[in-house]
Amino acid sequence: MTTDPLVVFTPSGKRGHFPVGTPVLTAARQLGVDLDSVCGGRGICSKCQITPSYGEFPKHGVTVRDTALSEWNAVEERYDQKRGLKEGRRLGCQATVQGDIVIDVPPESQVHRQVVRKAASARDITMAPATKLYYVEVTEPDMHVPTGDLERLERALKDQWDIDGITADLTILTRLQTVLRKGDWKITVALHRGHRDTAHRVTEIWPGLTDDRIYGLAIDLGSTTIAAHLCDLRNGTVVTSSGVMNPQIRFGEDLMSRVSYSMMNPGGDKEMTGAVRNAINGLTEVIATEAGIRPFQILETVFVCNPVMHHLLLGIDPVELGQAPFALATSEAVALSARDLDLNVMNENAQIYVLPCIAGHVGADAAAVALSEEPGKSDDLVLIVDVGTNAEILLGNTSRVLACSSPTGPAFEGAQISSGQRAAPGAIERIEIDPVTKTPRFRVIGSELWSDEDGFDAAIATTGITGICGSGIIEAVAELRIAGLLDPSGLLGSPEATGTPRMLPEGRTYSYLIHDGSAEGGPRITVTQGDIRAIQLAKSALYAGARLLMDEMGVDKVDRVVLAGAFGAHISTKHAMVLGMIPDAPLDKVTSAGNAAGTGARIALCNTDARAEIETVVGQITKVETAIEPKFQEHFVNANAIPHKTDPFPELSTVVTLPDVSFNTGGESEGGGGRRRRRRA
Amino acid sequence: MTTDPLVVFTPSGKRGHFPVGTPVLTAARQLGVDLDSVCGGRGICSKCQITPSYGEFPKHGVTVRDTALSEWNAVEERYDQKRGLKEGRRLGCQATVQGDIVIDVPPESQVHRQVVRKAASARDITMAPATKLYYVEVTEPDMHVPTGDLERLERALKDQWDIDGITADLTILTRLQTVLRKGDWKITVALHRGHRDTAHRVTEIWPGLTDDRIYGLAIDLGSTTIAAHLCDLRNGTVVTSSGVMNPQIRFGEDLMSRVSYSMMNPGGDKEMTGAVRNAINGLTEVIATEAGIRPFQILETVFVCNPVMHHLLLGIDPVELGQAPFALATSEAVALSARDLDLNVMNENAQIYVLPCIAGHVGADAAAVALSEEPGKSDDLVLIVDVGTNAEILLGNTSRVLACSSPTGPAFEGAQISSGQRAAPGAIERIEIDPVTKTPRFRVIGSELWSDEDGFDAAIATTGITGICGSGIIEAVAELRIAGLLDPSGLLGSPEATGTPRMLPEGRTYSYLIHDGSAEGGPRITVTQGDIRAIQLAKSALYAGARLLMDEMGVDKVDRVVLAGAFGAHISTKHAMVLGMIPDAPLDKVTSAGNAAGTGARIALCNTDARAEIETVVGQITKVETAIEPKFQEHFVNANAIPHKTDPFPELSTVVTLPDVSFNTGGESEGGGGRRRRRRA
């Protein structure tokens, strides 16, 4: 009795018997093995490369002889000469089964391969993008069967790829006839199908089989910065990342001032919409140039953003978001074309997906964090804090997820700080103050050296020391407190009280001098009393939001804390806890997730199932409104101090004990009713 | 035993028992009675008016007492005072069932009422438009249930109208919040759902319940003229009709010269596309002004056109249509938004539907004729000829339908005719030539009088006699033949040979003088030898196309002939047959269908089922290509003459016998090799 040869695929382990002469690609498809192919098995795209294994495979119960696959053929030979085929590789569409065989599908031949995220997170992205390339050969027109070119393309996609139903905008239809004839009736099409679509949409066409890759942008549209990752839509690789300041800052630093701008200025929302779209166009150009691609190759873009940015991006006046009940124009995910948003640098047919908003104050950025960090899949209670101009806060576990947004303002990003700046080369990002000498040492972005180490001056010669960024100001404030230069109420001491001439008088308050570059024409970098107050407000808002969610959940501690946000990765956990930015948690249970919103955007870009998932998850999140909740104000006021903490921080107390200093006997505010403090002459 | 009261609706005859207190509208809905309502039963739209009948109804087995409906209520009273309610009318949503009752639904309260076509055709249009108005009351936003305004509108449409799933463009989304608040959470929405759509699309919104009606345009986009009907989308009434010349004429009189223009001039297709879209915008403005509506109320537009106009409208270079195999870019129906075509006078969200093309030479206009005239539903074999710059010809019955297009040129429309003009006041449209005196009498558009009747001069005083239109030139040529002034080869005789000084020499040929207005500064209107030749070419093309279809069908006669086209209604059947424009058929079997393509467009505008139907029908039509068929040339050449017909026209021969004259012994063409004819001094 003869049986057909056994074919075993690794790493999937899928196996089956196939008649002699079956192409490996055919066997893979019938078994549902994840083996790529763009040309549909014509031996021209080379995406279906496989590695046959020969010898004894007791694990699979197979002995593979060296005649198990057909001979190397002319198509493979030509491809090898033209582009080179790795040692041991075969083309799956050319090699046919001749005997029992074990075949490995290398990662680069897998469509749905996983992309390991760079950040230290457990979640990988499975590739299932909405846009893919297909090569097809279209029947030539026949006067006696008078179907249109589009209908014959549709027929070819059905016959060759089993794709049912396509649509094409006029921008494609107007070019289709030329491209089909130029490619001699062979064509590569980019087809987009969102998870809610019934038909595939043709978004780009190329004559013949194209060498072009296609890309997507994952854009985290923040109030202060716009960050974009350019991803290869075949494998999810982040090719380039880049960012720009949000030009809307000129209309207002924070969201509410932008809403006010819109209320006070007729057409103000249109101005802001135009500004942000222009900035995205500029960023797209920059990122395409950096990556060395043509912008039309960008065929998808995913946006995550807070509700105000969401509305301003879409061209919706955000005025309703400035007042109770904070009604969104639309809360669900939005899908449209690049041209609808005047995004005219990327492909005009690029398909845009904006994640759903959770509520009027908790946006698509929070949804993206939920997609990335998956609090609803966590067994222990996790607090996720995404720190930006607004803080998005999520608290939950498998039973329930809560969310709120807290208006921290831009202080954490270095804005509204006297020496503040964006995290860029030249910015002080780390700082330590010697508790005895009260002298600082610091590190500057662009160098790994501390300022008191040899070679520091040379290392920073090109950038200089230009300011202090978000993570730097947090460390500075915490270090000032640790060094006894700042009292629990947040007041900086005088030179007399602290014993260091680095405390400089400024009006009726004092500033701490970190670095004086004025001799070399550089800036004097100080932490002023105003800076301390800005950080106190920000950290109080953050803390109060988290506490409000804990109240709602009925808990007074959390199992773990995840710090996310553009600079979440850079915050020192120790310093954040000294400041009281976040509720108490064991130090080893506080982790950083990097730019979780951006990661969520990348996940949604690479995987349409993730879009369906987050749309469901968002509907299940309980949203807590900070603006109208009296307890928020209470928590906010209570969180203002930076108290002497020993008991609540057993882990922290082994590291540092905060001194119980006090500098204030009246009040430093100019309008305050307290008695005036002495001014230095 | 008590039973619930019986409710009988007329004219449908639907009946059922309902509990006392059931609103009539509710009963109607449950029985599937076609009773309109825009406000969903809130007593504000007044669309659900009904007429109760009282007394004995043996036919229905009911006695209706005067207490059978609830008393006239405050809502009805208010409506009656405000807008007036016809005697005997009640509001179906207010009047409740109290006893057995017979209720008549007047035509204006029926949604799916039929609109009787004005033309003498058997087919009525059933109203089932893709766009309808819905009034809904939307839940106000709630901070604790943070759905967007769009999602609450969607919910309201589901709850109040059982409509599943809506989509809204940014143009709607950006206005939604303002409109909802202006209408105090009451809103009227225009929803569009095409027959291929799964979701309803919001295309316009009004605060509260709007008084605005919504309209659609049915546009017959011809090579020479663009004709549009403005229809009320609630009842299908044609409110206004208007037309303009197709400005593309400056790029070429006929389709092939426009294709050539595109081939010879880079960007030429874009110029032509821009020209025709501008013309449509202008026409939309004119028609809206004439109808006294605002153009944004136009929410649908249906186009029918030949393939070249189809491509030029959509912005597709028609170059492929100029050469075999005449490949269409797309043959299926096209659905898009007005803004996609830069149609910016009508509502930018107006939904456009372009009927499918049958083939590269047989367009959406032929499909519209098929939709209107339904050859596939005819038991006898019908030949349908739509005469325009191109003639679309359909031949078929229930078993099979054939179609072709024949390049008649614009002569039938009065173009390329020496004294030719568009059918407009002042144009000669009817003509008779006395066979004895060879003197003409004629009628001019704008007057019912013949030129030899009393009062004619006064009747035409304002318009004058300006030229001769398409139907006039056909009659003129036929009458010249009947009067013996034209020989069977199409040659006009000399004054000597014909005995009338109306034959004027012109080069080596002769013209027949119809009217000399030169004494009053008006034109001299003649029929020249060139005119005869143009008409001969046109009629030969038309006849050859029809014959080709008959060959394909395997018949040498047809049961009936339908003449369609903008001027189909005006052609004299007798004269068309004298000329040999159409194959032989009994005179009483030759009818006119008016502008059948325009009627097809109206049907598709008012009824989405008709769109589905024609898309199916078009796929079943066998298309015959004239351009490559040698028999077409043969028929064309054979059809050139206007022979002495007695036998083939038994019916006609009772009316007229064509003289067997002959004027030619050589050939009149200047480059002809025949011997020169005498010239008059």
**Residues B605 and B643 occupy one common structural domain:** yes
* Cβ pair A181, A205 in contact under 8 A: no
Tens digits of residue pLDDT in A130-170: 999 999 999 999 988 889 999 999 999 999 999 999 999 99
Mean pLDDT of all residues in A492-505: 92
Residue A319 has pLDDT above 90, yes or no: yes
Residues 626-655 of A with CB under 8 A from B: 628
Give the Cα separation of B643 and B661 in Å (integer): 10
Residue A410 has pLDDT above 80, yes or no: no
Q: Do A320 and B358 touch (CB under 8 A)?
A: no
**Residues A32 and A69 occupy one common structural domain:** yes
**A266 contacts chain B (CB < 8 A):** no
Final residue before a domain boundary, out of B109, B144, B174:
B109
**B465 contacts chain A (CB < 8 A):** no
More confident residue, B46 or A112: B46
Residue A568 is predicted with a pLDDT of: 63
**Residues A145 and A60 occupy one common structural domain:** no
> Letter for the amino acid at B595?
N
Give the Cα separation of B45 and B37 in Å (integer): 7
Lowest mean pLDDT among A554-568, B196-210, B221-235, B288-302: A554-568
Q: Do A329 and B358 touch (CB under 8 A)?
A: no
Percent above pLDDT 90 for chain B: 56
**Residues B15 and B99 occupy one common structural domain:** yes
**Residues A52 and A130 occupy one common structural domain:** no
Give the Cα separation of B365 and B386 in Å (integer): 9
Query: ω before B307 within 30° of 0 (cis)?
Result: no
> To which residue do tokens 């000294």 refer?
A578
**Residues B404 and B541 occupy one common structural domain:** yes
Lowest mean pLDDT among A3-7, A424-428, B120-124, B469-473: B120-124
Contacts of A146 in chain B (CB under 8 A): 326, 328, 331, 357-360, 362, 623, 625
Give the Cα separation of B548 and B546 in Å (integer): 5
CA distance B326 to chain A (A): 7
Residue A112 is predicted with a pLDDT of: 64
CA distances from A303 to A218, A277, A354, B169 (A): 6, 12, 5, 18
Q: What is the mean pLDDT of chain A?
A: 87
A579 domain-assigned: yes
Q: Which two tokens stand for residue A1?
A: 């009795």
Give the Cα separation of A599 and A369 in Å (integer): 8
Provide the domain count of chain A: 5
**Residues A264 and A323 occupy one common structural domain:** yes
Q: Do B149 and A359 touch (CB under 8 A)?
A: no
Residue A567 is predicted with a pLDDT of: 59
Mean pLDDT of all residues in A163-181: 96
Q: Identify the band that residue B567 occupies on the pLDDT scale cut at 50, 70 and 90.
A: low
Q: Which two tokens stand for residue B159?
A: 């709850």
Q: Do B331 and A143 touch (CB under 8 A)?
A: no
Q: Distance of alpha carbon A64 from its chain centroid, rounded?
A: 46
Q: Please give the torsion angle defined by the CA atoms of residues B462, B466, B468 and B472, in that order, rounded to the nearest 10 degrees.
A: 20
Residue A146's domain spans which residues? 114-207
Q: What is the mean pLDDT of chain B?
A: 87
Residue B407 is predicted with a pLDDT of: 82
Final residue before a domain boundary, out of B187, B207, B227:
B207
Residues 189-228 of A with CB under 8 A from B: 198
A675 domain-assigned: no
**Residues B350 and B219 occupy one common structural domain:** yes
What DSSP element (H or E) covers A634?
Answer: helix A630-638
- CATH, residue A266: 3.30.420.480
Nearest to A327 among B144, B149, B329 (CB): B149
Q: Which of A155, A173, A337, A622 is the best mutation test for B, with the most CBs of B within 10 A? A: A173
A vs B, Cβ pairs < 8 A, gives 134
Of A417, A580, A646, A613, give the one whose Cα is nearest residue A514.
A417
Percent above pLDDT 70 for chain B: 92
B674 domain-assigned: no
Q: Do A328 and B146 touch (CB under 8 A)?
A: yes
Give the Cα separation of A40 and A162 in Å (integer): 11
Q: Which two tokens stand for residue A502?
A: 């680095």
Contacts of A314 in chain B (CB under 8 A): 170, 173-174
Residues 288-327 of A with CB under 8 A from B: 314-317, 319-320, 324-327
**B179 contacts chain A (CB < 8 A):** no
Q: Distance of alpha carbon B61 from its chain centroid, rounded?
A: 46
**Residues A396 and A418 occupy one common structural domain:** no
Q: Do A143 and B174 touch (CB under 8 A)?
A: no
More confident residue, A126 or B358: B358
Q: Do A325 and B142 touch (CB under 8 A)?
A: yes
**Residues B641 and B546 occupy one common structural domain:** yes
Q: Which of A177, A308, A332, A620 is the best mutation test for B, with the most CBs of B within 10 A? A: A177
Is residue B613 packed enough to be buried (19+ CB in 10 Å), middle (13-18) or exposed (0-12)?
middle
Mean pLDDT of all residues in B38-50: 81
- CATH, residue A51: 3.10.20.30
Final residue before a domain boundary, out of A146, A181, A207:
A207
**Residues B167 and B263 occupy one common structural domain:** no
- CATH, residue A158: 3.10.20.880
CA distance A339 to chain B (A): 11
**Residues B310 and B236 occupy one common structural domain:** yes
CA distances from B204 to B63, B200, B287 (A): 46, 12, 20
Contacts of A325 in chain B (CB under 8 A): 140-143
